[in-house]
Chains A and B, each alone.
Chain A
Amino acid sequence: MTEPVIELPVDRKIDTSQMKVTDEVAIQITGMNKWYGSFHVLRDVNMTVNRGERIVICGPSGSGKSTLIRCINRLEEHQAGQIIVDGTELTSDLKNIDKVRSEVGMVFQHFNLFPHLTILENCTLAPIWVRKIPKREAEATAMHFLEKVKIPEQAHKYPGQLSGGQQQRVAIARSLCMRPRIMLFDEPTSALDPEMIKEVLDTMISLAEEGMTMLCVTHEMGFAQAVANRVIFMDQGQIVEQNEPHAFFNNPQSERTKLFLSQILGH
């Protein structure tokens, strides 16, 4: 079998010096089940994420991968099993939910910026209202992260005036302004043109280089190969296979994984 060609569309060297997986558990999911009505979306999912891990979750559409990461900050409610994020168990207790949500950042496929607020206001809103940080300080933090995602000059524009890639980078900066310990990415590049995918992946790589714990649902296998320390393949609501990226791409074990990889990777 020939090795598949997996390209990272970003032309850069990746600095792995800060990417360290620790023994500290960040997310612990045990026996988690979820139904949409009578449809069993997630079936007995067990998963442990250690601090510093960079996990890519892939799988065919409808396999429950987005639902899984949306359960981690309770945008979706699970019906059975346990999810513990940073030592806090997710139950219907609103205090716990708010606590977890302020620790976990989320980036959406369609950016979900607030169109009635400027870029800067998008970034300072949650720090000011949730973290109670003074406005001036929140603005300084926001500008710091906007510089990090390389669009400080857009701070006073509205989201509608930015390109898709810029909007997604603002969305990442907006999450970072809450100083999260874990970042969730729900298909962050799926709604973007190829040129814009690059700039968003570049931002995500920088984040990984700083040692952020990341869970990414994505079809960017180049990103998985270069950045992830673990790739999880899901199908029909369950984890079918997981492995470190080199073994996952070059030596997949299950037939379902082989079929999926053969469809999305060029040879």
Chain B
Amino acid sequence: MSDTHAQTVSYVRETMLAPQDPPRSQTGAVKWVHENLFSGWINTGLTLISLLVIFWLVSGISPWLLNSVWRAGSLSECRAILDGTSGACFAVIVDRWHQLLFGFYPPALYWRPVLALLLLFVALAPVLFTGLPRRMLAFSALYPFIGYHLIWGGSLWFPVTALMGFGVGALAYLLMRKLNNLAAIFAAILAPVLWWVFAAGPLDSALYSIMPLGLDFVRSDRIGGFLISMIVGVSAISLSLPLGILLALGRQSDMVFIKTVCVVFIEFIRGVPLITLLLFASLLLNFFLPPGTSFDLILRVIIMLTFFASAYMAEVIRGGLAALPKGQYEAADALGLDYWKAQRLIIMPQALKISIPGIVNTFIGMFKDTTLLVFIAILEPLALANAIRADTNWNGIYWELFIFIGALFFIFCFGMSRYSMYLERKLKTDHR
């Protein structure tokens, strides 16, 4: 058949060919190794060099790691056990792990932050995995109050009265909606604020005097270690995403006032180093607040980190918005969806999906930035590492502490990274 084709112009196929299996060299491990490791002279060379480098690194580090000392009271004891040979002294972690994790949190109460962490996973699960029952989201919404109460303790009525503020807001909205929609929204914002400022405190003390329920109060300056990194990191991450979305939308708004406020906010925050904002939060903010108000340092830091991350988040999301074809907005408009519905149902699901790598990048960056809190006298893990090294027992040790702290951060950052990859795969519906 085929030689007729070479000789004449006219050609008609009479039989269709059935598909056949590919040659053996094109499948399985053989193909993978051939394609990825030894596809040419240069790649073969690079593979061999890489193997040598890996061997060199492993052979250098492994004796130090394998020869670790896990039980000793001090660095000198460690050295005595090692007797001149090279080896790590992880005894410092065994001795001080509780400080690295919890700071100066009362040891008898360690169950509270541990329980808070476990419940955090329960609260995050329905947010991260849509397959779980939607009712679990009710627990996620309550978690900030539960988490706060477990970690700080104090009167049980404090988070309860704070939570009631939202109920007051909803009530105000329902009552005012009969009059006017705009007034209802205004009332829904104003009423909870008034509640928190004037009513929540007295009501809390009144209820506590009637029924003294609660846990032992733990002062903020006792909270430290990886616990503080988690508190600040998780709060700032979960607050910066919604704020970032609003800022990104505001920056694209046609309303000049809103647009200007958002642009100034984003550009100011992005233009200032984080450490400046943190110093501002720790030192200067009190000058601006009315005298007598004590504003918890951790709260101030969370607010500053949230602002910082949300400015970056806004720009990441703006990139996602810019990548959406104009037709999506037009189709949403043409179907009669109003601005907020179009944003919620059409624009944001797509823009956020496009922005996932950038969003997670910002999350990871921010989580690691919590180590900067060391400079404003918050006892985060690096501050405690310094404190441990100042102890005469452990003076001179540093690798082991930083490996431990690094491993803690790595677990969480790597987790976020893997989750974002899972999410990207799950949301891939465009079949490009």
B318-352 residues with Cβ-Cβ distance < 8 A to A are 325, 327-328, 330-331, 333-338, 341, 345-346, 349-350
User: Closest A-chain residue to B327, C-beta based?
Assistant: A112
A192 at the interface (CB under 8 A from B): no
A125 and B335: CB pair below 8 A?
A: yes
Digitize B50-88: 1 where CB-to-A-CB distance is under 8 Å, 0 elsewhere: 000000000000000000000000000000000000000
The answer on a CB contact under 8 Å between B337 and A129 is yes
A174 contact set on B, CB distance < 8 A: 335
Residue B423 lies at the interface, judged by CB distance under 8 Å to chain A: no
List chain B residues, Cβ under 8 A from A125.
335, 337, 345-346
Given contacts A108-B327, A158-B431, A160-B430, contact A116 B336 (CB under 8 A): no
Q: Mark A127-147, 1 if CB is under 8 A from B, else 0.
A: 001100000000000000000
Given contacts A112-B328, A115-B350, contact A101 B333 (CB under 8 A): yes
Residue of A nearest to B432 (CB): A160
Query: Is A114 part of the contact surface with B, judged by Cβ < 8 Å?
Result: yes
Q: Mark interface residues in A208-221 (1 if CB within 8 Å of B CB, else 0).
A: 00000000000000
Q: Does B276 contact A (CB under 8 A)?
A: no
Q: Which residues of A contact B337 (CB under 8 A)?
A: 125-126, 129-130
Contact (A101, B335) CB under 8 Å given A114-B346, A115-B350: yes
Which B residues lie within 8 Å of A126 (CB)?
335-337
Contact A114 B334 (CB under 8 A): no
Interface residues of A in 52-98 (CB under 8 A from B): 73, 75, 94, 98
A130 to chain B: closest residue by CB: B336
B353 at the interface (CB under 8 A from A): yes
Residue B429 interfacial (CB < 8 Å): yes
- In Å, the complex CA distance between A110 and B331 comes to 10
Q: Are B334 and A73 in contact (CB under 8 A)?
A: yes
How many whole Å from A190's CB to the nearest CB in chain B?
14
- What is the interface residue range for chain B against chain A? 20 to 34
B347's nearest neighbour on chain A, judged by CB, is: A114
A104 to B337, CA, bound (A): 13
| Cβ–Cβ contact B431 & A114, under 8 A | no
| Given A115-B350, A116-B353, A101 and B430 contact (CB-CB distance below 8 Å) | no
Report if B264 contacts A (CB, 8 A). no
The answer, among A73, A114, A160, for a CB contact under 8 Å with B328, is: A114
Within 376-432 of B, Cβ neighbours of A (below 8 Å) are at: 427, 429-432
User: CB distance A115 to B429 under 8 Å?
Assistant: yes
| Residues of the A chain whose Cβ atoms lie less than 8 Å from the Cβ of B338 | 94, 98
B326, closest chain A residue (CB): A112
Contact with A along B15-54 (1 / 0, CB 8 A): 0000000000000000000000000000000000000000
* Selected contact of B336 from candidates A108, A110, A161, A178, CB within 8 Å: A178
Distance, CA A130 to CA B429, complexed state (A): 25
The answer on a CB contact under 8 Å between B333 and A75 is yes
A25 vs B432: C-alpha distance in the bound complex, in angstroms?
A: 45
Tell me whether A113 is interfacial, beta carbon within 8 Å: yes
Determine if A19 is an interface residue (Cβ-Cβ < 8 Å): no
Return chain B residues, CB-CB under 8 Å to A175.
334-335
For the complex, is A30 an interface residue (Cβ under 8 Å from B)? no
**In the complex the two chains form, is B336's CB within 8 Å of A158's CB?**
no
Q: How far is the CB of B327 from chain A (nearest CB, A)?
A: 4
Q: For the complex, what is the distance from the CA of A170 to the CA of B321, rounded to whole Å?
A: 25
Question: What is the CA–CA distance of A116 and B430 in the complex, to the nearest angstrom?
Answer: 7
**When the two chains form their complex, are residues B350 and A160 in contact, meaning their CB atoms are under 8 A apart?**
no
> Residue B335 contacts which of A94, A111, A178 (CB distance < 8 angstroms)?
A178
Contact of B331 among A98, A113, A116, A178 (CB under 8 A): A113
Q: In the complex, what's the smallest C-beta–C-beta distance from A90 to chain B, in angstroms?
A: 13
Are A160 and B429 also in contact (CB < 8 A) when A110-B327, A115-B350 are? yes
With A101-B334, A111-B327, A125-B337 given, can you name 15 additional A-B contacts, CB distance below 8 Å? A75-B334, A98-B338, A101-B333, A102-B336, A105-B334, A108-B330, A112-B330, A113-B331, A116-B349, A125-B335, A125-B345, A126-B335, A126-B336, A178-B335, A178-B336
14 A-B pairs whose Cβ atoms sit less than 8 Å apart in the complex: A101-B336, A104-B334, A106-B331, A108-B330, A112-B325, A116-B427, A116-B429, A125-B346, A126-B336, A130-B341, A158-B429, A160-B429, A175-B334, A178-B336
Binding site for A on B (CB under 8 A): 325, 327-328, 330-331, 333-338, 341, 345-346, 349-350, 353, 427, 429-432
10 closest cross-chain pairs (CB), A and B: A102-B336, A160-B431, A112-B331, A112-B327, A126-B335, A106-B334, A101-B336, A158-B429, A160-B430, A130-B336
